[in-house]
């Protein structure tokens, strides 16, 4: 017998309205997580997006399921992995128990994945952990400073373009944490190395960063 809830979700109801419904009925969150973990159809992606959007608005509602979200970091499905990366960063705001410490090594290990989108999601979300606990800045910045040495693959081949895109993400992170960091010199040096980047957007980010922060 078909699961009526799953069949309803397969119709992909308006996501914004559904997120508000879940916020009003958070007892449905474990059902969504169960579908993410067990459903073979694409409905699992709709459920993941719903949980992710709920975590943006009301992280405390998703926080009780922290371990389930953290497990997505190991997912073989890239879309679920990326969702897990972003949702965990949203949950930082409610992580008064310090549960992120248990997965931080794995989380920031993904910053050095050869898949650029995986690494970019980590880089783009990392500042949220610093906002919650500035003590993370040193650890995260140390990993970010290693990124220029990383190689990203596109169809199995090293991709210089992916590396350039990542540098833009790294500069965005530097901009958010610069004032509290003790690695200002290294950040400036990396930004200076990108002012002539062939990707105009990255070059502009570098110039804007230096104009704002260079002594």
Q: CB 39: neighbour CB atoms within 10 A?
A: 17
pTM, entire model: 0.94
Alpha-helical (H) ranges within 42-183 are 43-57, 59-62, 66-71, 78-91, 104-109, 116-125, 127-132, 137-144, 160-177
Closest C-alpha among 89, 73, 82 to residue 45:
82
CB 194 within 8 A of CB 180: no
The set of long-range contacts for 150-153, using a CB threshold of 8 Å and a minimum separation of 24, is 150/112, 150/114, 150/119, 151/114, 152/114, 152/115, 152/116, 152/119, 153/114, 153/115
Encode pLDDT of 44-54 as tens digits. 999 999 999 99
Q: Which candidate, 117, 130, 115, 118, places its Cα nearest to that of 72?
A: 118
What pLDDT digit, counting tens, does each position of 56-93 carry?
A: 999 999 999 999 999 999 999 999 999 999 999 999 99
Q: Please, which contacts does 29-33 make with residues 24 or more away whose CB atoms are closer than 8 Å? A: 29/54, 29/61, 29/62, 29/65, 30/65, 31/5, 33/65, 33/68, 33/69
* Residue 154 DSSP SS3: strand
* Confidence bin at 178 (pLDDT 50/70/90): very high
**Average pLDDT of the residues in 11-23:** 96
**Does 156 score more than 60 pLDDT?**
yes
132: left (phi over 0), alpha (psi -120 to 50) or beta: alpha
Other beta carbons within 10 Å of 95: 17
Residue 193 contacts residue 166 (beta carbons within 8 Å): no
Q: What is the mean pLDDT of residues 158-181?
A: 97
Q: How many CB atoms lie within 10 A of CB 31?
A: 15
Residue 111 has a pLDDT of 96
Entry field: residues in the chain = 215
DSSP 77: S
pLDDT at 26 over 80: yes
């Amino acid at each position: 017998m078909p699961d009526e809830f799953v069949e309803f979700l397969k119709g992909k109801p308006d996501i914004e309205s559904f997120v508000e419904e879940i916020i009003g009925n958070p007892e449905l969150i474990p059902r969504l997580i169960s579908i993410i973990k067990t459903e073979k159809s694409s409905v699992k992606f709709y459920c993941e997006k719903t949980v992710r959007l709920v975590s943006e608005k009301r992280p405390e509602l998703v926080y009780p399921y922290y371990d389930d979200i953290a497990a997505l970091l190991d997912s073989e499905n890239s879309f679920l992995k990326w969702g897990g990366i972003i949702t965990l960063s949203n949950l930082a705001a409610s992580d008064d128990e310090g549960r992120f410490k248990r997965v931080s090594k794995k989380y920031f290990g993904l910053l050095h994945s050869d898949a650029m989108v995986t690494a970019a999601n980590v880089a783009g979300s990392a500042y949220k952990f610093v906002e919650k606990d500035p003590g993370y800045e040193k650890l995260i910045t140390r990993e970010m400073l290693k990124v220029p040495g990383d190689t990203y693959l596109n169809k199995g081949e090293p991709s210089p373009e992916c590396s350039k895109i990542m540098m833009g993400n790294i500069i965005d992170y530097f901009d958010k944490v610069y004032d509290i960091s003790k690695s200002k010199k290294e950040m400036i040096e990396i930004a200076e190395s990108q002012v002539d980047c062939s990707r105009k957007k990255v070059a502009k980010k570098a110039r804007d960063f230096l104009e704002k922060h260079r002594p």
